[in-house]
Amino acid sequence: MKRTANLVVVFFSSMWLIALLTTAVFAKDAPAINVPGGTQSNSGQVDGDTVWKQQCSRCHLAPGAINKKKMMTISRHMRDVAQLTHEDYQALKEFLGR
Amino acid sequence: MKKNLVALVLTACVVSAFASTAVAQDALSASPVVTGFTTQDNTFSEHEKKFNFGVNPVVLVPVGREGLFLTEWEFGYDLHREDGKTEKEFEYGLEYLQLNQPFSRRFTGIFGKFLTPGMWNERLHPSWIKKTSYAPFTAGLLPGSGTGLMVKGALPFGQSADLTYSPFFTAAISNKYFDSERMVGGRTGLFLKNRGLDVGFLAARSLQNEQTNTYGVDLTYQLRDAATDLRGEYYSSSKGSAYWLEASKRFKELPVKSLRRLELAVRYEYANPIVTHEEHEEAVMPEEDEHHHGEMDEHETDTYADGHDDSVVIDDHKNDHRETNNENGHHGDFPEIRTNRLIGSINYYVRDGWKLYLSHGRKNTPGSGMSDNVWNFGLAIRFVR
C-alpha cells in the first residue's frame, strides 16, 4: 500500500515536472517591463531605470508582464525587502507604473 | 490543536479585514497580489535519495496609502530514502505574517512575524533567487524569523550611497506558527550604489536562557559590466562560526541568445562549531546509558559556569556528517562538527522566475578523510497572480 502511494506521488510529481518543463521550453517570453530608457521622477534627481539596475537586478531579472496595480503592491514589498530610500522608491514606482 | 485552529482563523480574519480596507482606500493605485514560488528538488548521494516538492504562497495586501500586509506560508512534501529505508513527510509552516507601515520617509514599522535581518535570510533564500540549492551554514546560527517589532529604513548620502538600518525586537512565544525567541538586534549596511558594493553588519542578543550574542558581516559586490556577482557572509555565535563566499557569472555577452540565460555559480563555505563536553561525548558515544548522561549533565553545568574556555572544538574522526535540526525557524542547518563544503551549480533561467538547476556539492570533515558527494537538480518557479 505504501509502495503504491509512493509510486503515485512519484508519478504525478514526474508528470508535473514534465509539464512544467514542456511549458517552460515552448512558452513564449512574456513581454518584459520596458526597462531601458529610464524616467525622471518628480524630484528630477533619481532615475527609475537606474534604481532598477542598481537595486532590483541584484537579485532577479526583469519580471514579465504584471498588472500595474499589482506592480504597485509588489513595489511596496520590495521597498522594505531591498530597503530603498524614499526617493528611490518613488522613482521606481513611477518607472514601473508607466 | 485548538490553538492552531484559532491562529488560522485569526489569520484569515486579519487577511480579510486588510483586504477589504485596502480595496476601499487604495483601489486606484494598488491591488492585492497572490505570488510566491514552487520548487521541485531532487537530491542524490551515496547513502540517500531525496525528492521534494514545495510551494510557498505569498499574499500581499496593500493597506492605506503606503502600508502593506503580507504573509508567506510554506508547504513541502518529502520522499526520503536512506540506507534502504523510505520515509515520507509533509511539512507546513508560517514563514512570516506582518504589517509594514511607513510612518515617515526614513522609517517603516514592521509588526508581526517577520524574517530577521540578514542578506541571505531576507533577500536570497527563495529557491528562484538563490544561486546554489543549499542554505549556507551561517543560516543555522540565527533564528530565521521572530515575532515582534522591527523598524526599517534607508538614509541616502547623495545619489551614490545609502545607509540602511533595521533594528528589531522579538518576543518569546511558543506557538506552532508564531514560535519566536526573545531577542534584540539589528543590521546596518552601507550600499555604494554606483559601485554595486553593499557591506552590512549584524548584531543580535538572545534575551532568554544563556543570553548569547551573534555577530555577522555580509558583503555583496555586483560587477555589472562582467555580469558577475560576489557574495559572502560571516557569522559568529555561541554555537560557533561560519562563513561562505559565492561567485556567480552570467554570460550575457554570448552570441547565442539562449545561452545568455546560463549562469555558473560556485560557493565555498566553512563551519567551525563550538561544542560543549556533553555534546562532544554524545557525538562520540551516542549509545551511552542514562547514568552516564547524568554525569555529563553535571559536567555540563560546570562548563557553562566557566565560560567558553572549557568548551571543546570537535573534529573527531568517528563522527558522521550530522547536522542540527532545523529549529526556531532557521533557514538552514549548522553542522555539529567542523565541516567545509564546495558547491558548483549550473543555473538556466528559462525566463525571469523560472530557474532550472543542476548542482554538485562536496562536503568534507577536515582531517578525517570523510567526504560526501551530493548531486542535486530541480526547477524553481516564481508565480504572480
DSSP B58-123: EEEEEETTTEEEEEEEEEEEEEEEETTEEEEEEEEEEEEEEEEEE-SSS-EEEEEEEEPS-IIIII
Burial A8-17 (b: 16+ CB within 10 A, else e): eeeeebeeee
- Beta strand B183-192 with B339-351 is unpaired
Residue B279: pLDDT over 50: yes
Please give the backbone phi and psi of residue A42, each rounded to the nearest 5 degrees, phi first: -60, -35
| Interface probe with A: pick from B21, B37, B39, B40, most Cβ of A within 10 Å | B40
Contacts of residue B305, defined as CB under 8 A and 6 or more positions apart, other chains included, come to none
Q: How many CB atoms are located within 10 Å of the residue B373 CB?
A: 11
pTM of the model: 0.77
> What integer best gives the mean pLDDT of chain B?
82
> Across the interface, which of A13, A80, A86 has its CB nearest the CB of B105?
A86
- List the grid coordinates of B45: 548521494
- Predicted confidence (pLDDT) at residue B2 exceeds the cutoff of 50: no
Task: Establish if B99 touches chain A: CB-CB under 8 angstroms.
Answer: no
State whether A79 and B194 contact (CB < 8 Å).
Answer: no
- Residue B110's φ and ψ, nearest 5 degrees, are -125, 120
Q: Which of B33, B128, B159 sits opposite A70 (nearest CB)?
A: B33
Query: Can you read off the three cell numbers belonging to residue B92?
Result: 507546513
Chain B positions touching A18 (Cβ under 8 A) are none
Q: How far apart are CA B250 and CA A61, in angstroms?
A: 12
pLDDT tens-place string over residues B82-129: 888 899 999 999 999 999 999 999 999 999 999 999 999 999 999 999
pLDDT score recorded for residue B314: 39
User: B122-146 as b/e, with b when 16 or more CB fall inside 10 Å?
Assistant: bbbbbbbbbbbbbbbbbbbbbbbbb
ipTM for the whole predicted complex goes beyond 0.90: no
Question: Does position B277 have pLDDT exceeding 70, yes or no?
Answer: no
pLDDT value, residue A62? 82
Residue B84: the pLDDT is: 83
8 Å CB contact of B196 and A54: yes
Residues A80 and A89 sit within 8 Å (Cβ to Cβ): no
Residue B312 clears pLDDT 50, i.e. is over it:
no
B231 against B329, higher pLDDT: B231
pLDDT at site B48 = 87
Count of CB contacts below 8 A, A vs B?
A: 129
Q: Looking at residues B350-371, what average pLDDT do you find?
A: 87
3-state SS class at A10:
helix
